[in-house]
Structure 1
Amino acid sequence: MCAHIVVAEDDEKQAELVRRYLEREQHSVIVVSDGRAALDEVRRTPPDLLVLDIMLPKVDGLDVCRILRQETDLPVLMLTARSTEDDLLLGLDLGADDYVTKPYSPRELMARVRTLLRRTRVAATPPDPLLRVGTLTLDPVRHEVTVDGKPIECTPGEFRLLEVMAAHPDRVFTRGQLLEHLHGFDRYITTRAIDVHVMNLRKKIETRPRKPARLMTVYGVGYKLTAGEERQNGAS
């Protein structure tokens, strides 16, 4: 699973450590030391993965992620020394696909890299049938979502969450199950990340986000995706 990977890390020792481990797994690696250089490199030669430190000079990692999410669905793995839940959720909300908190073990980082690259390769497999739940349609190959025929912009995390639930309409998923589909097992992240994705998705796919008819809460359990037409048509 050789890949082209850009590492944006201003700590020279950390950058060299990450480079060595990635090259040991036969990846080609470009290292940059600030956010502006990261944006330039990704735009010049789009990589298969961006390993992105949050604390970067010139343009910080959160801004880099926000800017890139307007341009590409490139997988982004964030490295962060910020351990507060709000900081981590902000990174996910801006479109990061996963994160590792410092200090981290190189083996853990490589496992996260392999997981993200596998997801990318799976997404590049031959077309799957369109997924339809009521008037919501999801195209796994083109990474497109429409509601009532209108396109909906989703971050990679939001798209994967919808994809999992659209493949099993009316099935109730716990937050833990959805989290595994999104990020795999992580001893740091909390299930509140799922609530953030759900809140953002409701703003995009629901007529009245505060009274959802598609992306439903099953109290004490989790969430499910339903066709929703009857509830929406009957809402006052």
Structure 2
Amino acid sequence: MTKILLIDDGATQLHDIGPSLERDGHQVFLAQDGPAALKIAWQESPQLVILNLLLPTMDGYETCRRLRELGIPFILVTSPIHDEHGVIRALEMGADDYLRYPLETPILIAKIRTLMRRNKRQVANGPVIYNDGNLLVDLESRKVQVGDDLIKLTPTEFRLLSILLRKAGRVVTHEELIKEIWGTDKNDSLGSLKLYIHYLRQKIEETPKKPHYLLAEWGVGYRFREIRNEMMTSA
């Protein structure tokens, strides 16, 4: 079941498509503005956000940017048919695709299915489950456990961990990680990357200052430790 977050102030038809998405087998969350959406995104880690660019309080572009910083896998924006500049701006700020009003529900559902197939292919690029007896990471169910304790990761923390785990044993450069997580290659994201590595180590490492799993290659990037075959399984 795909978790989908709809962000709309109720003034457009986007607000009314929730039942159609639920009938298609998705779990739908609703938010009427940017701040409420960010709170739900942090709590529920949706796989997809559908966002009306014309929002009150915090505009759709800023909301899109902040959702991408949270590590939401896919963002689909909706826009009035005449607003070509707005669509381009949203795509530059991290949106994956767009639809224009009036929305056609069958086309929207087809786009969602396409994005979710892309997500499954990405998950298939590496181990689905890692388990070394201490750390358990299930990429499909988004479950992380250390010993007997379930660990709550933010969307960005989980995305960072999953990227490194899929490429375990090899160095992933700062530039690669920044581009995959935030959709940009700007150097000003390096500080955010280091901060999220710090957060992850605090949650999964027994001794964060002497990490066992998340290893730094100074000045280059990070890598997840080497994995023996018996530590990982695929679906």
TM-score strictly above 0.5: yes
Q: Deviations over 1:154-207 (max 9, x none)?
A: 233322321221123232111211233334456798344423432321221123
Q: Does 1:67 align with 2:40?
A: yes
**Alignment gaps of 5+ in structure 1:** 16-29, 53-57, 229-236
Q: Classify 1:192/1:123 alpha carbon distance in 2 versus 1 (closer, same or farther; 3 Å).
A: same
Give the structure 2 partner of residue 217 of structure 1. Answer: 216
**Matches of 2:206 and 2:144 in 1, distance apart?**
15
C-alpha displacement at 1:72, in angstroms? 5.0
Give the structure 1 partner of residue 116 of structure 2. Answer: 120
**Matches of 2:177 and 2:198 in 1, distance apart?**
14
Q: Classify 1:188/1:75 alpha carbon distance in 2 versus 1 (closer, same or farther; 3 Å).
A: farther
Give the structure 2 partner of residue 139 of structure 1. Answer: 138
The one-letter amino acid of 1:67's match is: I
Q: TM-score, normalised by structure 2?
A: 0.56
| Conserved 8 A contact 2:49-2:74 | yes
Identity %: 24
For residue 220 of structure 1, give the secondary structure of its aligned residue in structure 2.
Answer: coil
C-alpha displacement at 1:211, in angstroms? 4.1
Give the structure 2 partner of residue 175 of structure 1. Answer: 174
C-alpha displacement at 1:104, in angstroms? 4.4
| Conserved 8 A contact 2:70-2:155 | no
For residue 165 of structure 1, give the secondary structure of its aligned residue in structure 2.
Answer: helix
Map 1:164-203; keep pairs closer than 5 Å. 164-184=163-183, 190-203=189-202
**Alignment gaps of 5+ in structure 2:** 54-59, 77-84, 99-110, 228-235
Size of the aligned set, in residue pairs, is 194
Q: CA RMSD in A?
A: 5.0
Moved more, 145-154 or 67-76: 67-76
Map 1:144-163; keep pairs closer than 5 Å. 144-163=143-162
The one-letter amino acid of 2:97's match is: V
